[in-house]
Structure 1
């Protein structure tokens, strides 16, 4: 059974971790890849620890969602700054 709350929660956690990594000096161009890797790890370990394939699929969803949130927030922030 898919628990969308876990996927949403992990997307926010991955996005937060990627912001921390960015502050620590990780290049901005590597953030989407980092989101995907962290998402897959979260999917396997937290969302679906008993089903490896579903964990990977959930992790990809988490990583791509976190990247989309990051990109969207960045674009909105740039629009307001001019």
Structure 2
């Protein structure tokens, strides 16, 4: 697994894309799935384009991290 430190920078990009989807009117129930989809897409396109199991695993991790970062930031802003 050749996961570089700067690959973690994809997580805030996923957060930004999910926020964009939210602002264009996507329902809040779909946002976690969109986060996972963006994570898996980034894994397959950027992280491991020739190793699909690794790409899916890393993509799910990035999508869940982005979803948690987005949710945590939202909860912090509301309090």
TM-score range relative to shorter protein:
over 0.9
**Structure 2 match to 1:2:** 3
CA positional deviation for 1:28: 1.2
Q: More helix per residue: 1 or 2?
A: 1
**Structure 1 match to 2:46:** 46
SS in 2 for 1:43: helix
- Cα distance in 2 for residues equivalent to 1:4 and 1:29: 31
Number of residue-to-residue matches in the alignment? 78
CA positional deviation for 1:56: 0.4
TM-score of the superposed pair, with normalisation by structure 2: 0.92
Q: Which has the larger radius of gyration?
A: 1
**Structure 1 match to 2:26:** 26
- Cα distance in 2 for residues equivalent to 1:62 and 1:26: 20
TM-score of the superposed pair, with normalisation by structure 1: 0.89
**Structure 1 match to 2:58:** 58
Give per-residue Cα distances to partners, 1:17-49, cap 9 Å, x unaligned: 000000000011211110001100101111111
